[in-house]
Structure 1
Amino acid sequence: MARTWLSIRVELVSGHGADLWPRPGRVFAAARSHSFAQLASAIDLAFGRWDLAHLHLFTLSDGTHASLLDWWDGEAPEDTVDGHTTKLSRLQAGEQFAYVFDMGDDWAHLCTVGERHIDPFDEFGETPDRPVPYWGWGSLPDQYARRWDGTMGSRRCRSGRPAGSATCLRSCRGGANTAENDLTLCTRGGRQRGVEVLSRSGRMAR
């Protein structure tokens, strides 16, 4: 098989209020025909997340966002395309972009597209039907910063919608740092979130 797949390096920059150093990371093999939604799922699983009922947001180098529009109830940030239908073919070699999972805990990732394409058969002996990690390093933090069973987790949604959906964010109440405020910050400053992640990498020209 020809070397047509993308190699995407993903580093976990920060989350749960803390910057991570050294940064744990994974390198993914992904076809250009795969979607951003598929890449998001692969990243979340590879970084050990089990509660996936949260919003996520990609910010590309041109400021375009990609996310699951049906989760936002019409309140997605401007310039957001649907992650289900938008393909990775829009990525260019060497491009850097940001991925944020859970707008409350802000698990922020720096993603870098490799300069060279790869052959998935060389890595896996087959052609996967979704993006798959083929290299990795570092210690992964718990999604809710829990160190043992029984530790209290993050807020819970009482609306019956997935935690992190726009409807849930309007209905949840969690003290001063409410999920409703999280949505406002993300909606008004979605692009800025991505720019901050890329800027903290120290490798993106402003």
Structure 2
Amino acid sequence: MAKRALRVRVEVVGSPEGPVESRPGRIMIVPPHVTFDDFGLAVDRALGRWDLAQLRLYWTSGDGGSDPSRFSYKDRVAAKLKPGGVFGYRFGQDGWEHECTVEAYDDPVEAFGRETHTAHAITGWGAVPDQAGNTAPPSTVDEGGHVPLWPDLARLRRLDDGEVRRAAFAGDLPTLVRAVTGSNLDYALQFVGDALLKARRASGGAEGATASESDAEVARLLAAIAGRLHERGWSGDEYLAQDIEAELSGAETELRPLPVDIPELTQIMSSGGDFRSEGRLNLDTGEINEFQPFGDRFDAYDDEDAEGEEEDAAESWTNVAWIESGSSDGWNDMSSFAELQHDPNIADRLARAIEGRGAFRRFRDAVDQLDLTDRWHEFSGDRELGRARQFLAEYGVRPI
């Protein structure tokens, strides 16, 4: 039988609290079509992890280890490594570190007992720490009588978006890394991914060991966020992930860079009701003109603009898609937010709030009463950013 798979030794070498001296581990059989993200998920399951919605990143060890973008989540393990190769795998922002050594080629039937197209553990050793540091079953239940889920979320602090914006604008990589690390990014992948990209580009001329270390850490965070964006799959996520991967690899993307004011674009696209507005985007310069659609839509332009309008190429201007309060996008955002709540009681309350007329008002009241307003704004803001990025991609451009 042909030896078509890799046999990989995986050892847990680091935890959020520091090094793991006992180095518990697993031997994994890895068929040829398994990607790094498939591999990481199989390792996590083999190690008994129960909250799998975490950032993952993979990098080389030894020579070349300074290139954190060497392995994309979608690269095939067998295409990048051969026996003797060593690579690192980190699970979660807090830093569960693994040393992975490709021991040999192996036959999956002989090693695993049957043909398989996914990675599996075939043996293991050692006491594996719980991913959240739990040493006993939970002794409390919530108000509905349920065992609280994902207790490790309490260890993650809320993202300080102001600090992230300031650090990104200044190209201050060390501050940005501190602001992002240990924060809950579930609802902020668009915002944080864009901020990391801008900061890395703005700090292109930074020198020194500290700057180099910070740049490497930002690159690792970006690689992990790209994987999470692909997995999450919201509108615009695929395009931001591609932009990140192009930045890390130095490759070109199919989308043309354009300096666009994303906050202004999202404001127009999410406006509605009495404050509904429309606008147009100049695909040559990135300029946005906003106007109210109920009057003369060109009232906002002066005579000089009007005289020059006929000279604009037809494909250079396009009306910005607008979204009103009762649009399907807005309602779908509320519905998705409700479904993503870990507490079934909260999820049920929010789902009932958006039934029938007055859904938007009832939903706002509910998130306020449940102390979820900040999380809702973070969630809906990231959805709006993604839709703006999707809108631009449909015209062949990406924001810079």
- Please indicate, yes or no, whether the TM-score normalized by the shorter chain is above 0.5: yes
Residue 119 (1) aligns with residue 150 (2): no
Q: 2:58, 2:72 within 8 Å by CA — same for their partners in 1?
A: no
| Residue equivalent to 1:63 | 65
Which of residues 163, 166, 187 is equivalent to 2:218? 187
Mapped to 2, the partners of 1:117 and 1:142 lie a distance apart of 31
Deviation at 1:60, TM superposition (A): 1.6
Output the amino acid matched with 1:107.
W
Change (3 A) 1:164 1:150: farther
| 1:30-63 superposed Cα distances (whole Å, 9 cap, x missing partner) | 1222111110111111111111121111012433
Deviates more, 1:19-28 or 1:145-154: 145-154
- Residue 163 of structure 1 and its aligned partner are, at CA, apart by 7.1
Counterpart-to-counterpart distance in 1, 2:217 and 2:139: 30
Which amino acid in structure 2 is aligned with residue 162 of structure 1? D
The aligned runs of 1:1-206 (5 Å cut-off) are 1-61=1-61, 62-63=64-65, 79=69, 81-103=71-93, 105-114=94-103, 116-148=104-136, 149-150=138-139, 153=152, 154-155=155-156, 162=186, 165=189, 167=191, 186-187=217-218
Q: Distance in 1 between matches of 2:39 and 2:23?
A: 19
TM-score, normalised by the number of residues in structure 2: 0.36
- Which structure has the larger Rg? 2
Is the alpha carbon distance of 1:58 and 1:64 closer, same or farther for their aligned partners in structure 2, counting shifts above 3 Å? farther
Would you say the 8 A contact 1:11–1:111 is kept in 2?
yes
1:92 is matched by which residue type in structure 2?
K
- Using the alignment, how far apart are the partners of 1:64 and 1:17 within structure 2? 24
Asked if 1 retains the 8 angstrom alpha-carbon contact of 2:35 and 2:77, the reply is yes
Distance in 2 separating the partners of 1:124 and 1:81? 26
SS in 2 for 1:134: strand
Aligned residue in 1 for 2:387:
none
TM-score with structure 1 setting the length: 0.67
Per the alignment, residue 173 of structure 1 pairs with none
Q: d(CA) in 2 for partners of 1:23 and 1:89? A: 27
Q: Which amino acid aligns with 1:135?
A: T
Give the structure 1 partner of residue 267 of structure 2: none
Deviations 1:91-141 (A, max 9, x none): 0210111101112x2000000001x31111112221112111101000010
Alpha carbons 1:37, 1:84 under 8 Å: kept: yes
Quick check: 2:58–2:71 contact (8 Å CA) kept in 1?
no
**Which amino acid in the other structure matches residue 20 of structure 1?**
V
Residue 45 of structure 2 aligns to a residue whose secondary structure is: helix
Contact map agreement 1:16 1:145 (CA 8 A) in 2? no
Give 3-state SS (helix, strand or coil) of 1:41's partner.
helix
Q: Does 1 or 2 have the higher relative contact order (CA < 8 Å, sep 6+)?
A: 1
Which shows bigger deviation, 134-143 or 86-95?
A: 86-95
How far apart are 1:162 and its partner, in Å?
2.8
Higher helix content, 1 or 2: 2
SS at match of 2:79: helix
Which letter does structure 2 place at the counterpart of 1:187?
V
Please state how far the C-alpha of 1:84 moved relative to its aligned partner.
Answer: 2.3
Q: Is the 8 A contact 2:15 2:95 kept in 1?
A: yes
Runs (5+) with no aligned partner, structure 2? 141-150, 162-183, 195-213, 222-400
- Work out the CA distance in 1 between the residues paired with 2:101 and 2:188: 26
- The DSSP-based 3-state class of the residue aligned with 1:123 is helix
Which structure shows the bigger proportion of residues in strand conformation?
1
2:91 partner letter: F
On the 8 A contact 1:3/1:117 being kept in 2, the answer is yes
Aligned residues with identical type, % of pairs: 30
Name the Cα RMSD after superposition. Answer: 3.3
Alpha-carbon distance in structure 2 between the residues aligned to 1:21 and 1:63: 22
1:186 counterpart letter in structure 2: E
Question: Quick check: 1:54–1:163 contact (8 Å CA) kept in 2?
Answer: no
